[in-house]
Structure 1
């Protein structure tokens, strides 16, 4: 780890105090805990500095900051996001210590899906970082998880630390994708791995047909060809994946997500997304604080010697509703993995994870 990544742990508040300051920042600014972490971590967890920086950069005043809604779930009232899931807060009733699927779900119509490149090829504190990934998965309790850049060593940690998930890996090379499905909630019908035959990096498309809370899904994940030099192959892989989305059975809701290594220009060159395919970040409001998933201005896991540090939206989640009428509604999109691990001074990955929230429509 470089000197810039080293951390004086004596100056880091306790986890409880960090969460308390995130809550206070969110209350003052009318934002959320995810944005609070960004501002507080960059300012050594000093609340006054973080709040002042926020209002200076946004031009808002304390009086003009939007107030959070008061939310009531299962008789418990708390201040949080208006979507009813304040998963970044340790006091939220959404966070459960018992890992009993479905029984303890305070939002029975909510379906959560996470996607994350967990950087298994990086050797720095790999086990600790993967354990942190597991902690976040167990805390946020998604019903399905798409993982990219999994390796045998991290797969072993995931299997051990996430016992309430069934893991289906597409282990065809040194590193691979995997899908985690919540036991007792998701039921697998069929699993396939489709190779991209022209890939120089042995990339694949992983497809799983399943039901989650009674909803029929086709779940797809991939780690598309990397680096700027391989844009042509990456676009071809994306085109194939999107074809699988639009040609899926009409009674299936299709979700495709992963580290797509995608540049907006490349998507434009493909004439954009097919009709009926939605970008979850866009359809939930295109919130700026949730835009960049590989952000070297904030994520310090990688050393970058260039003058300008890149900020890219490499990781994406796309949704195609079933026909003739959709059975889920996109509700919220957020980033996870935004907090450094105190014991090693690293984030869980050099990518932020994505967490998409959907609501099942009552018939």
Structure 2
């Protein structure tokens, strides 16, 4: 693959320039994730970002990747679930975001990944589940982790794209559904990813009663609805307006007696403002969620 990132242009690790911080604080104003930024002392709250970073689009990709790293430095999420990574993007993240352990869902082409904050989330094991009938480079990446003594099962995926592939997307959702439903009762399960789902598709498959769509659970707030919005995001220069809730977060709390029961308490879209290079971090907005003990 062609060289996309210039090593000599990588600034200090985990740095976050003041000007960039101001831009991203402003970007979060409609639904301020920064006001819910977890502190190291806030041991009971779990914070998560899920984002399709559009690594396949290499235009201004270094500036966009730097913008993502600035968000990570600003919000310090415990878990980051990423889609549409490419190998050079992952290498850049490994050099910049050294406080995170990175797990990859693939090695070639484009793939998913997870970033676990080393000081708060400990990896137990990870697994890649293949989708047997997919026509694209798609799978389900899982990680069993320990978060402050709690067992978590983290999942991310990038479901089949395009309206015509609804049947395949529903097959993929069924795999996720079964994995979430089948997790032990002492485990908290969280899925975040670019599902490309339409609401009628979800209705056909159905979610277990124990699993919630975080956006729905938190009141279906309009400012957090559309994660793919060509009306507000011109990275793709689309000649049409399309506003969709492709990116979703599903959550199943642990139910075993004596196990802390987390519940979603906040959701925000991030990446809403253009970077200095004139582009957004991605053609998708990112989702920031936090979960606290109920």
TM-score (norm 1): 0.71
Does the aligned pair in 1 maintain the 2:23–2:273 contact within 8 Å?
no
User: Are 1:178 and 2:113 counterparts?
Assistant: yes
> Which consecutive unaligned segments of at least 5 residues does structure 1 have?
1-13, 24-31, 36-80, 88-93, 96-103
Equivalent residue runs for 1:133-212 within 5 Å: 133-212=68-147
SS at match of 2:234: coil
Count of residue pairs the alignment pairs up: 274
Does the aligned pair in 2 maintain the 1:111–1:360 contact within 8 Å?
no
Distance in 2 of aligned mates of 1:283 and 1:251: 21
Equivalent residue runs for 1:274-313 within 5 Å: 274-306=208-240, 309-313=241-245
Does the aligned pair in 1 maintain the 2:24–2:71 contact within 8 Å?
no
SS at match of 1:86: helix
Distance in 2 of aligned mates of 1:202 and 1:129: 23
Does the aligned pair in 2 maintain the 1:332–1:358 contact within 8 Å?
yes
Task: Quote the residue 1:126 is aligned against.
Answer: 61
Distance in 1 of aligned mates of 2:84 and 2:217: 27
- CA distance 1:327–1:345, change in 2 (3 Å): same
Task: Quote the residue 1:244 is aligned against.
Answer: 179
User: Are 1:262 and 2:197 counterparts?
Assistant: yes
- CA distance 1:16–1:232, change in 2 (3 Å): closer
- CA distance 1:16–1:252, change in 2 (3 Å): closer
Cα root mean square deviation, aligned: 2.1
How much does 1:248 deviate? 0.7
- CA distance 1:106–1:300, change in 2 (3 Å): farther
The runs of at least 4 consecutive aligned structure 1 residues that moved more than 4 Å come to 14-20
Task: Quote the residue 1:353 is aligned against.
Answer: 286
Per-residue CA deviations over 1:294-322 (Å, capped at 9, x if unaligned) read 0111011111123xx00000000000111
- CA distance 1:19–1:159, change in 2 (3 Å): closer
SS at match of 2:143: strand
> Which consecutive unaligned segments of at least 5 residues does structure 2 have?
1-18
TM-score (norm 2): 0.87
